Amino acid sequence: MANMNIYELKEKKPYLDYLRLDKLPHIWCPGCGHGIVMKALIEAFYNLKLDKNKLSVVSGIGCSSRLPGYIDANTLHTTHGRALAFATGVKLANPELTVVTVTGDGDCAAIGGNHWIHAARRNIDITVILMNNNIYGMTGGQASPTTPEGAIATTAPYGSIEPNFDTCELAKAAGASFVARTTVYHYKQLIDLIEKGIKHKGLSFIEVISPCPIHYGRKNKLGLKGLYDYLKTNFIPIKAWDKLPEEKKAGKFPIGLLYHDDSREEYCEKYEKLIEKLSQN
Amino acid sequence: MGKVYLEFGNHACAKAAIRAGCRFYAGYPITPSSEIAEKMAELLPKVGGKFIQMEDEIGSMAAAIGASLAGLKSMTATSGPGFSLKQENLGYAYMTETPVVVVNVQRQGPSTGLPTQPAQGDVMQSRWGTHGDYQAIVFSPSSVQEVYEETIRAFNWAERLRQPVILLIDETIGHMRERLAEPENVEIWNRKKPSLPPEKHLAYKPEEDDVPAIPNFGEGYRFHVTGLHHGYDGFPTTDPKLVQEFMERIQRKVLRHKDELLKYEEYMLDDADILIVAYGSVARSAKYAIKEARKKGIKVGLFRPITLWPSPEEKIYELAKNMKCVLVPEMNMGQYVLEVERAVKGASEVHRINKACGELIYPDEILRFLDKFSPLTV
């Protein structure tokens, strides 16, 4: 298998059909989690048998946002923070399309924060995958809204003095009707949550912790193993989390489907109903 | 002739947009353009179109571009501060060759300025507002009738050349009620479709007219759109040859149609020895002043560009070279006059009247200038 080229591999791994193989190798650094997210994403697409012609993957700017270029679909690499605003236009203009946005912690939670909370409020049928690496990777390791307090970044050389967002709590509070968290270490769960998120009618928010060994890991002297061990030990499946005594929860996070509500109507469907109603008058 | 009635400028804009085939509007409230959004919210769902009030100006520009890529003729409208906010994504539309109409009902700036009194302060911003090089297409109507006609023209050119077209309306015109005669027939242009099947088609390969036949999302052509410089396949490139070729092409695709794009009015120019260049609402004051001045024997005429950009520079030069002088009255501190000076190339003296205080330029103010050239005083 080692000598097999990727085109031959496609026969054995049919989900590779969702990649633009000629655009590989990707730009991500060694040890970065983003490639794992991409593989989980195409496996989910494959499992759901999504029609590539009716699939749109939208991103903003940053490491995460290079992902759509590798996906064989209608792909849109937009401006910093604006993926969800562009995606809202795409989805509302053509609700037949399955729309997935991939974004990063800076792109989604800092510069794109407004579009994010309002897309959640509208409950528009878009799946948002936030690839959280706790840092601005592409610009060289600056602090982001998810950089933990005390962690070192190029713009926080003495340790960040800002508290960080819990993006799942924020998405839920803003109105997202499907909120999940996992990590690239929990690969099967990652595929499963992406599938569920895409199937869910309404805004699905999935935070995926995806380590950045080059900028975050190196600055904070965590090492590749340290970064992945952290995912293994500090991210607790929701059922176990619920049983965990409060004092043991510090520094740890629940993973899995944290919240979902199927009773809320989806935005585009509401708009179609309005059109239908007006056409009858 | 179609329906004739009294209409409000901003509503004429919304109605014309629907007539032109606009089926998507994303906007954010801002005076003096909000009535366009309100009218679109009312009209679009009735024709099966979509309206969305976005969370901000940036998002409105983004959503309009997204919807256009998904195949709908799209529009957004705003005013000064909002126009500033839209600039980055406006550049994205130039870069990704996405048709979109952006209406800016101007108000007095800078910043929050005078909400909401008239101004023409965004003339240069409409040309150079977003970073990098591109050819802006900007139309400036000076009546409610013209708002209707220019809105349709804006959609047509946006679709044909696949780029943003800006409609620069003065607050005065947007908020004016005036006679509107809806034309019975209007010419509607649509974006071209790819002629090759998906496996052979390159989304960003320019055709003979320098415009690529970019498919709509969902039509079976899977392709990539990016604000990075890109090759014919739409994927990022840093190849200097490809980048230079792209930069030249996006200028050329507009400039090769310059004659067709230019629209202007010439008023009492036959025997004129003084030329006024004015646009938008100021042109109305200029016309009044010209009529009065002519009673006194002052031979003055008006050149009124409706297409501000690309600029009718050759035409301005031809007219100006035989004039005693040129006067450019504007509701700003001197913007289009810079273009006029550039066009005139010293062939005639260029004077200006600048007013940027929220008041209109009145005919008297233009007349006072013209009086200096009256046969009685010369």
For residues B224-242, average pLDDT: 98
Give yes or no for residue B1 having a pLDDT over 80.
Answer: no
Nearest-by-Cβ selection for A74 from B63, B68, B217? B217
Adjacent-strand bridge partners of B158: none
Burial group, residue B200, by CB count within 10 angstroms (0-12, 13-18, 19+): exposed
Quote the pLDDT of residue A130: 98
Residues of A in contact with B218 (CB under 8 A): 53-54, 56, 74, 94, 96-97
Beta carbons of B59 and A53 less than 8 Å apart: no
In chain B the first and final C-alpha atoms are separated, in Å, by 48
Q: Which of residues 169-228 of B touch A (CB under 8 A)?
A: 217-220, 222-228
CB contact (8 A) between residue B59 and residue A114: yes
- For the segment B4-9, the average pLDDT, to the nearest whole number, is 98
User: B63 and A97 in contact by Cβ < 8 A?
Assistant: no
Residue of A50, A70, A75 for testing the chain B interface, max B β-carbons within 10 Å: A75
Task: Give the residue-averaged pLDDT of B85-108.
Answer: 98
Residues of B in contact with A271 (CB under 8 A): 45, 50
The answer to whether residues B109 and A124 touch, using CB atoms and an 8 Å cutoff, is: no
Give yes or no for residue A281 having a pLDDT over 60: yes
Please give the share of chain B, as a percent, with pLDDT higher than 70: 98
Q: Examine the pLDDT at A3 and tell me if it is beyond 90.
A: no
Mean pLDDT, range A88-111, rounded to an integer: 98
pLDDT, position B103 = 98
Output helix, strand, coil percentages for chain A, rounded to the nearest 5: 45, 20, 35
Instruction: Give the mean pLDDT of A115-124.
Output: 98
The predicted-structure confidence for B145-193, as pLDDT tens digits, reads as follows: 999 999 999 999 999 999 999 999 999 999 999 999 999 999 999 999 9
- Report the residue from A56, A72, A86 with minimal CB separation from B62: A86
Q: Which residue's structure tokens are 């003729």?
A: B73
Checking if the pLDDT of B376 tops 70, the result is: no
**Nearest chain A Cα distance for residue B36, angstroms:** 18
Looking at the complex, does the CB of residue B63 fall below 8 Å from at least one CB of chain A?
A: yes
Closest alpha carbon within chain B to A118:
B55
Residue B35 pLDDT > 50 = yes
Paired sense of beta strands A253-260 and A178-183, if any: antiparallel
Domains B4-181 and B265-371 share a fold: yes
Contact A46/A14 with Cβ under 8 angstroms? yes
pLDDT at A27 over 60: yes
Q: Rg (Cα) of chain A, in Å, rounded?
A: 19
- Give percent above pLDDT 90 in chain B: 97
Chain B CB within 8 Å of residue A60 CB: no
Query: Strand runs (DSSP E) across B82-121, as ranges?
Result: 100-106
What type of residue is A255? I
Instruction: Give A116's contacts in chain B (Cβ within 8 Å).
Output: none
pLDDT average, residue stretch B221-231? 98
What is d(CA B368, CA A256) in angstroms, rounded to the nearest whole number? Answer: 76
Residue B305 contacts residue B168 (beta carbons within 8 Å)? no
Domains and CATH numbers, chain A: 29-236+245-280 (3.40.50.970)
Q: How far away is chain B from the Cα of A178, in angstroms, using its nearest Cα?
A: 21
- Report the gap between the CA of A172 and the closest CA in chain B (Å): 18
Q: Residue A5 has what pLDDT?
A: 78
Task: Tell me the pLDDT tens digit for each residue of A30-79.
Answer: 999 999 999 999 999 999 999 999 999 999 999 999 999 999 999 999 99
Pairs of residues, one from chain A and one from chain B, whose beta carbons lie less than 8 Å apart: 132
Q: Do A78 and B223 touch (CB under 8 A)?
A: no
Which pLDDT does position B2 carry in this prediction? 86
| DSSP string for A122-133 | HT-SEEEEEEE-
Contacts of B227 in chain A (CB under 8 A): 77-79
User: At A155, is the pLDDT very low, low, confident or very high (cuts 50, 70, 90)?
Assistant: very high
**Residue A21 touches partner B, C-beta closer than 8 Å:** no
The domain limits of chain B are 4-181, 265-371
Which pLDDT does position B378 carry in this prediction? 44
Write down the mean pLDDT value for chain A. 96
Say whether residue A24 is in contact with chain B using an 8 A CB cutoff. no
Report yes or no: B293 and B367 within 8 Å, Cβ to Cβ.
yes
Residues 71 to 130 of A: which have CB under 8 A from any B CB?
A: 72-79, 82, 85-94, 96-97, 114-115, 117-118
Name residue, tokens 């009707």. Answer: A177
Q: Is A243 helix (H, G, I), strand (E, B) or coil?
A: helix
Report the residue of chain A nearest B89, measured CA to CA.
A79
Mutate to test the interface with A, among B226, B228, B233, B235 (most CBs of A within 10 A): B226
Gap from B194 CA to chain A (nearest CA, Å): 15
Provide the token pair at A122. Answer: 């509208």
Average pLDDT, integer, range A250-265: 97
The C-alpha angle A190, A191, A195, rounded to 5 degrees, equals 115
Is the bond preceding A148 in cis, omega lying within 30 degrees of 0?
A: no
Cα-Cα end-to-end distance for chain A? 64
Q: What single DSSP character describes residue A109? A: I
Six-digit token pair at A35? Answer: 């490639």
Q: Locate the chain B residue with the closest alpha carbon to A120.
A: B55
Which chain A residues have a beta carbon less than 8 Å from that of B66?
58, 76, 78, 85-91, 93
Secondary structure percentages of chain B, helix, strand, coil, to 5 = 40, 20, 40
Question: What pLDDT, on a 0 to 100 scale, did the predictor assign at position A9?
Answer: 86
List, for residues A159-178, the tens digit of each pLDDT value. 999 999 999 999 999 999 99
Report ipTM (2 d.p.).
Answer: 0.97
Q: Which residues, listed in sequence order, are joined to residue B101 by a DSSP beta bridge?
A: B75, B165
What does the pLDDT read at residue B372? 85
Q: Report, at the CATH architecture level, how domain B265-371 is classified.
A: 3-Layer(aba) Sandwich (3.40)
Nearest Cβ partner for A92 among B50, B92, B224: B50
Is B63 in contact with A279 (Cβ distance < 8 A)?
Answer: no
Mean pLDDT for B66-85 is 98
Cβ contact A52–B222 (<8 Å): yes
Q: What angle do CA A29, B241, B96 make, to 5 degrees?
A: 70
Q: Is a pLDDT exceeding 70 seen at residue B233?
A: yes
Confidence category of residue A6, pLDDT binned at 50, 70, 90: confident
**Residue among B269, B97, B117 at smallest CA distance from B192:** B97
Give B208 to chain A, closest Cα distance, Å: 25
Query: In a mutagenesis test of the A interface, which of B24, B46, B47, B52 is the best target, namely the one with the most A β-carbons within 10 Å?
Result: B52
**B74 to A278: CB separation less than 8 angstroms, yes or no:** no
B223, A75: Cβ pair inside 8 Å?
A: yes
- The whole-angstrom separation of Cα A120 and Cα A170 is 10
Measure the CA dihedral A272/B103/A74/A190, to 10°. -70
pLDDT for res A2 = 55
The answer to whether the Cβ–Cβ distance between B62 and A76 falls below 8 Å is: no
Q: Supply the CATH classification number for the domain B4-181.
A: 3.40.50.970
A77 to B222: CB separation less than 8 angstroms, yes or no: no
Confirm if A74 and B223 have CB atoms less than 8 A apart.
yes
CB spacing of A271 vs B50 below 8 angstroms: yes
